[in-house]
């Protein structure tokens, strides 16, 4: 429980450091380091801790920011991202297989893009307008790949507890 609380806090803090890039700004989105923490949590600690810390950490950010309307969607999407990322990355060699880790991040990327598209369709009641958010989502998720070398370094330095 302590590890999940620490990862949740780190995810919240990482999400709080955001910028509005020209691509993300076009759709009102932001680019942040929260995805890096989901990747690190999933590869180092596995699916359950990544799902919980991603869901709670990023939802807490939404609840304490102007993005409150996104909170219920964030909880589901980020939890699913962490769970899938952790599941795939631990299929071979417990998070130490580079190919599986890249596949895991890519799968989580699909969950993010599709999940937030559906969320925006629900919020706006329109299927066309949310398409403009996809480039911002792709820009945001590309930052997640930074978590891969970070996770591999941490994984080598510590023995994770499950």
CA–CA–CA angle 31, 35, 40 (5° rounding): 145
Number of domains in the chain: 1
The two three-digit tokens of residue 139, written as one number: 């820009």
- Would you place residue 20 in the very low, low, confident or very high pLDDT band (cuts 50, 70, 90)? low
Res 43: pLDDT: 95
Supply the range of the domain harboring residue 59. Answer: 2-157
For 64-80, what is the mean pLDDT? 95
Q: Are 91 and 46 in contact (CB under 8 A)?
A: no
User: Which residue would you say has higher pLDDT here, 65 or 79?
Assistant: 79
Does residue 136 fall inside a structural domain?
Answer: yes
Does residue 162 fall inside a structural domain?
Answer: no
The two three-digit tokens of residue 144, written as one number: 């997640």
Spatial separation of the C-alpha atoms in residues 108 and 84, rounded to whole Å: 7
Does residue 130 fall inside a structural domain?
Answer: yes
Nearest residue to 112 (alpha-carbon basis) of 35, 4, 28? 35
Nearest residue to 11 (alpha-carbon basis) of 73, 70, 74? 74
pTM: 0.90
Q: Among 6-10, 81-85, 153-157, where is mean pLDDT lowest?
A: 153-157
SS3 content of the chain, % helix, strand, coil (to 5): 80, 0, 15
For 9-23, what is the mean pLDDT? 82
- Would you place residue 139 in the very low, low, confident or very high pLDDT band (cuts 50, 70, 90)? confident
For 97-105, what is the mean pLDDT? 93
- Would you place residue 97 in the very low, low, confident or very high pLDDT band (cuts 50, 70, 90)? confident
Res 113: pLDDT: 95
Q: Among 40-54, 61-75, 88-102, where is mean pLDDT lowest?
A: 88-102
DSSP state of 127: S
Contacts of 8 (CB under 8 A, 6+ apart): 52, 53, 56, 57, 60
The yes-or-no verdict on residue 28 having pLDDT over 60 is no
What percent of the chain is modeled with pLDDT above 70?
91
Is residue 125 classed as helix, strand or coil in its secondary structure? coil
CATH no. for residue 133? 1.10.1760.20
In order, the DSSP letters of 6-70 are HHHHHHHHHHHSEE--HHHHHTT--EESHHHHHHHHHHHH-HHHHHHHHHHHHHHHHHTSTTGGG
Q: Among 5-9, 11-15, 24-28, 114-118, where is mean pLDDT lowest?
A: 24-28
- Would you place residue 78 in the very low, low, confident or very high pLDDT band (cuts 50, 70, 90)? very high
């Amino acid at each position: 429980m302590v590890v999940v609380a620490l990862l949740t806090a780190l995810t919240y803090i990482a999400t709080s450091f955001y910028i509005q890039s020209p691509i993300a700004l076009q759709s009102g989105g932001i680019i942040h380091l929260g995805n890096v923490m989901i990747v690190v949590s999933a590869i180092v600690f596995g699916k359950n801790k990544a799902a919980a810390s991603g869901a709670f950490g990023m939802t807490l950010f939404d609840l304490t920011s102007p993005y409150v309307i996104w909170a219920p969607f964030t909880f589901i999407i980020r939890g699913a991202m962490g769970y899938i990322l952790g599941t795939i990355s631990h299929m071979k060699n417990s998070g130490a297989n580079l190919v599986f880790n890249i596949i895991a991040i890519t799968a989580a990327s699909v969950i993010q893009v599709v999940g937030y598209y559906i969320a925006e369709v629900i919020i706006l009641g329109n299927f066309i307008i949310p398409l403009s958010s996809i480039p911002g989502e792709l820009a945001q998720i590309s930052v997640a790949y930074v978590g891969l070398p970070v996770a591999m370094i941490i994984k080598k330095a510590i023995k994770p507890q499950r």
